[in-house]
Structure 1
């Protein structure tokens, strides 16, 4: 196995993602603060987060058809340009009366992401060979985390100086640059070199994936993707992990401020330090080209995530000193990368229709995260903080168990298929012997 960086086309896509993610994180950090300043309401800020999930759910069938029917490179370029245009109205927002404009921008951006992510992920097998998919997905995660480290603090600093206009212009520029880089990536598969860079070499086709899983390669749609036998365990596991993530988004701040008696600075420190583990894991999988099976990567990531989470939530019974939590939150970033890389790589190598499969994956993740967010807000006042935190860790463990069971079923299915193939070959050979005797 070699690094995906040997593919020039992939490098351009990677750079496009890094540029876009840096601009996005500048805006992601600034927008909730702007909403809170203009409305003075925590509810208004919560609405902003919920609005990001709605388009992913509603547009999943549309995304599946767009990605399945049109050239992915063109889809990505078009969506990037739409995102650039969609951000521009933020330059006009100056008062609370203009909050609907800000909410509309959030919905438009989330709608674009609902199409962009499935198109990008389903395009990867056409850019790198199958043995480099894990490396490619890990490097994309690495670029996202580096973009987060660069863009997040920069967005906060610019907003502190009252330069929301600079943030918006920077985000627009990042989308345009990303579109240029994506447009420059090779898109005619017949002209791609299958040696050296590995573009398109040994990439699993829809037909091959369908033959391996018993699905129809021509069927496009989220429902069809959710029914695909070889991916059911992946979707269930991803849904459980998404619920856990939704719980975390709400309960994390309460844990630091209430259980640890921490300050706002410690909230920011522990939230941001996760990027260290994420970058380390992304570098190991992406740059060192570590050979591993996607299902096994996801399983290890889910179990490690659950065990570290349970250790964190129960540690206040022993100590509330900051440094042990810094270490644990630094570590927990690594299994997060393993989990997402495993899911994405598995779908890329198993799905009968990658566009539909990734739209379904986005739908499952959004619904699961929404369930977690609502459960955290509605159940926490009744159960208290610790039981829900414990449930969050257990959900990750269950996600790992589901992947383990899926691994066992896939091995059994592969063994059955091999046995059936052997029986057919034996029958042909026997028949041939009889006909010549």
Structure 2
């Protein structure tokens, strides 16, 4: 963990740039085109690229050096932003959509590469704590990016926002390139990838066939994306209903409270793992997702302010808890399969979020924010309850002691199974 905090800082700075340009560029598109359709198309292109690039990213991080991929992803985004900044006004519209492709693809690639690398960077026993630090850093970056985007654009202009974005990606790339961290398992780092494409495809099919619970967790995360998009889309509408004169007040209070809950959850989860030596598994993930969705529904219920604040705090805590448990559970997969697993996860999550944005926007034309949020988050709760019933029926433990996958010791080395011990 000696260098990992620097990596977290660099990743948080990069995430800040991503959230800042997500807001600033959407406003910029509308400002230069005066078309809500053009702004929506920009976001759609970015999300569609994120979905497609999940599968591609999984293959890339399974084949090439992950640290170089992360550095390259940051540099590509910086170069694309530079091109937009220096381009003449007439060429900026076309470049914006090219930038949407670059931003969507590179952000997904960077996320898949980093999540796949955590067990090799910090060791399997420290991965939950490391994931918690990353979630905390990204949550703070999201709040800072969303909060500062309006101020930066209003007071300094779009050029300043672009320069700030570029600087954030360059800082992140510099930090990553200077850190002496290993991002692949030792045998892969020393010998390089040895599997043929056919063998890699076979390994992927084997993983999908032998890990139904992991597939169920990925499916839940996709449905969680529907719920997440619903409260993101409904939040401005609900805020305007609560206080038409100052709609931003409730939004800022909500996200600040959500972030506090998220950070507290990471701290408590880290203490639990250190004290018990166990990483919560599928059952804890499903329970946490139920609590998270229920918390978001309560936020939109129009209850007294104190109750709403507590609900937002609980939702943020459960949100951070489930993400860390989810990522830590997927990281128990062998290193040579982990990249494709996280690539599939990224595609599923982005698909759920993108579809949820479209569905939520359509439903809000006819229904109240509470009904829309309750419907989509209710789907996530229903799917989690099904998973809990399956786990209960099987009578299985959600995760092995210490969160290690069967057939691997705490150091990550393969150990023979009972069948292998008798020879084959």
Do they superpose with TM above 0.5? yes
Equivalents in 2 of 1:143, 1:395: separation in Å? 29
Task: Please list the CA deviations of residues 311-352 of structure 1 after superposition, one character each: whole Å capped at 9, or x if unmatched.
Answer: 2233x2xx4x54543342233211111121121111101366
Aligned 8 A contact 1:134 1:294 in 2: no
Residue 120 of structure 1, CA deviation:
0.7
Aligned 8 A contact 2:121 2:182 in 1: no
Equivalents in 1 of 2:306, 2:54: separation in Å? 42
Q: Name the residue aligned to 1:309.
A: 296
Distance change in 2, residues 1:406/1:54 (3 Å): farther
Q: Name the residue aligned to 1:243.
A: 226
Residue 398 of structure 1, CA deviation:
2.5
SS at match of 1:8: coil
* 1:229 counterpart = 2:205: no
Equivalents in 2 of 1:97, 1:189: separation in Å? 39
Distance change in 2, residues 1:11/1:42 (3 Å): same
Residue 87 of structure 1, CA deviation:
1.4
SS at match of 1:381: coil
Superposed, 1:349-364 pairs within 5 Å as 349-350=332-333, 353-364=337-348
Tell me which of 223, 228, 238 is aligned to 1:255: 238
Superposed, 1:101-116 pairs within 5 Å as 101-116=95-110
SS at match of 2:300: helix
Superposed, 1:176-255 pairs within 5 Å as 176-187=170-181, 218-219=200-201, 226-230=208-212, 231-255=214-238
Tell me which of 168, 173, 178 is aligned to 1:174: 168
Tell me which of 262, 273, 281 is aligned to 1:278: 262
In the comparison of the two structures, how many residue pairs are matched?
393
Equivalents in 1 of 2:170, 2:418: separation in Å? 56
Residue 252 of structure 1, CA deviation:
2.2
Equivalents in 2 of 1:413, 1:282: separation in Å? 20
Equivalents in 2 of 1:71, 1:406: separation in Å? 38
Superposed, 1:53-72 pairs within 5 Å as 53-72=47-66
Distance change in 2, residues 1:223/1:249 (3 Å): farther
Residue 227 of structure 1, CA deviation:
4.4
Aligned 8 A contact 2:261 2:317 in 1: yes
Residue 91 of structure 1, CA deviation:
1.3
Q: Name the residue aligned to 2:78.
A: 84
Aligned 8 A contact 1:119 1:355 in 2: yes
Tell me which of 292, 295, 316 is aligned to 2:279: 292
Equivalents in 2 of 1:275, 1:25: separation in Å? 15
Distance change in 2, residues 1:384/1:174 (3 Å): closer
Q: Name the residue aligned to 2:412.
A: none
Residue 36 of structure 1, CA deviation:
2.9
Distance change in 2, residues 1:410/1:217 (3 Å): farther
Aligned 8 A contact 1:380 1:388 in 2: yes
Distance change in 2, residues 1:11/1:259 (3 Å): closer
Q: Name the residue aligned to 1:49.
A: 43
Q: Which has the larger radius of gyration?
A: 1
* 1:121 counterpart = 2:121: no
Residue 148 of structure 1, CA deviation:
2.6
Distance change in 2, residues 1:228/1:280 (3 Å): same
Equivalents in 1 of 2:99, 2:208: separation in Å? 30
Aligned 8 A contact 2:44 2:354 in 1: yes
Tell me which of 120, 139, 150 is aligned to 2:144: 150
Equivalents in 1 of 2:243, 2:202: separation in Å? 49
SS at match of 1:350: coil
Equivalents in 2 of 1:183, 1:220: separation in Å? 33
Distance change in 2, residues 1:360/1:376 (3 Å): same
Q: Identify the range of structure 1 (367-376 vs 7-16) with the bigger mean alpha-carbon deviation.
A: 7-16
SS at match of 1:411: coil
Aligned 8 A contact 2:297 2:370 in 1: no
Distance change in 2, residues 1:122/1:423 (3 Å): closer
Superposed, 1:323-338 pairs within 5 Å as 323-338=306-321
Aligned 8 A contact 2:280 2:398 in 1: no
TM-score after normalising by structure 1: 0.78
Ranges in structure 1 where 5+ consecutive residues have no aligned partner: 1-6, 193-199, 201-205, 207-215, 429-437
